[in-house]
Structure 1
Amino acid sequence: MKKSIFILSLGILLISFFSFKDFDFFSSMTKVDYIDGSKTLKFTTKLNTNHISQAVKIDPSTAGFEAEVKKYVNNNVDVAINGAAKTLTFTGSQVNGESVWVYYEVGNVSDISSLKIKNSILIGQFPKQVNIMNITYKGTLKTLNFQKGKESSEVTF
């Protein structure tokens, strides 16, 4: 009896393993923090290295990678604060194995009552892409999700 249960369990485990072998997970995570002292909204985005390199069509180990990532982020992220469009300032990126960290910010932010964001990063290349954004403003945390068909979202504070 124990042998039959073991074989059955092993069979279920193997079937489960092989049914997920082609499964690829497409996501990014962005942390947004309001820095009261400098009146800055700072963005830190974590992307999969292979996915972003496919999107910008350049190897992450080459010198031009950061410039391409900057253009890509500027074309795929828009921010409006209290109804006014804001300019993103790209502050850098860092390749760390399977992840690329991208840093950008919006300056001269005195008060936020509404924040509208478009985040279409990697959605055009990977239709199942999900972009998650955690926004912290004066002690309040809000989470936004972006995906194909829902590339823009708005929160109020």
Structure 2
Amino acid sequence: MKKILYITGLLLLAVMMSFASAEFYSSMTKVDYVEGNRTLKFTTKMNTRHISDAIKINPNTAGFEAEVKKYVNNNFDLYVNGGAKTLTFTGSQVNGESTWVYFETGGVTDINSLRIKNTILLGTFPGQINIVNIAFKGNQRTMNFQRGKEMNEVSF
């Protein structure tokens, strides 16, 4: 009887511990096409602690935004209709557990295909998943990125 109670206790402890250390690593990017000025606007939301760990700087310091800008520029590439587009960082803000990053690209008259390389936080967190939702002239597309699938393409 003692042996059964001991084994049951160990199993219960193992189950409880398996839930205690689970952490979810993700970013979400929303892409909107602004037809009036032919611009794709990007809004990315990520966990403040995770981006802080990746760039190795405290989010409360003055250099945080500059490092986030450099990090996003190095980890997010955009190709419209096969041509590379330059992304312009327009700002960021830390709001508690979330960091919001804003960037854009102009001169987009039409989109037949959109290819994105998104490696945000993939090098730091093996379980990271990045989701990109795109809205273009009434059409919605979603892309998923993870280690081993850093590039994705959609057609309109």
Are 2:61 and 1:67 equivalent residues in the alignment? no
1:6 corresponds in structure 2 to none
Q: What is the correspondence of 1:4-153 to structure 2 with a 5 Å cutoff?
A: 17-153=16-152
Distance 1:19 1:83, change over 3 A: same
**3-state SS in 1 of match to 2:89:** strand
Following superposition, the deviation at residue 35 of structure 1 comes to 0.6
Identity of aligned residues (%): 67
Match of 2:5 in 1: none
Q: Distance in 2 between matches of 1:16 and 1:43?
A: 40
Q: Secondary structure at the match of 1:29?
A: strand
* CA offsets 1:26-72 (integer angstroms, 9 cap, x no match): 00000000011110000000000000001111000100000000000
Separation of aligned partners in 1, 2:42 and 2:48: 18
Please, which runs of 5 or more residues in structure 2 have no aligned partner? 1-10
Matches of 1:13 and 1:40 in 2, distance apart?
55
TM-score of the superposed pair, with normalisation by structure 2: 0.90
- Distance in 2 between residues matched to 1:25 and 1:62, nearest whole Å: 25
Name the amino acid aligned to 1:70: K
> What CA distance in whole angstroms lies between the structure 1 residues aligned with 2:27 and 2:13?
30
Measure, in 2, the Cα distance between the counterparts of 1:94 and 1:47.
11
Aligned residue-pair number: 146
Report the counterpart of residue 3 of structure 1 in structure 2.
Answer: none
SS in 2 for 1:145: strand
The alignment yields a C-alpha RMSD, in angstroms, of 1.4
Q: Give the distance between the partners of 2:18 and 2:76, measured in 1 at CA.
A: 35
SS of 1:103's equivalent?
strand
Q: For the residues of structure 2 that align with 1:46 and 1:39, how far apart are their CA atoms?
A: 23
4+ long deviations beyond 3 Å: 12-18
- Tell me by how many angstroms 1:19 deviates: 2.0
TM-score (norm 1): 0.89
Deviation at 1:17, TM superposition (A): 4.3
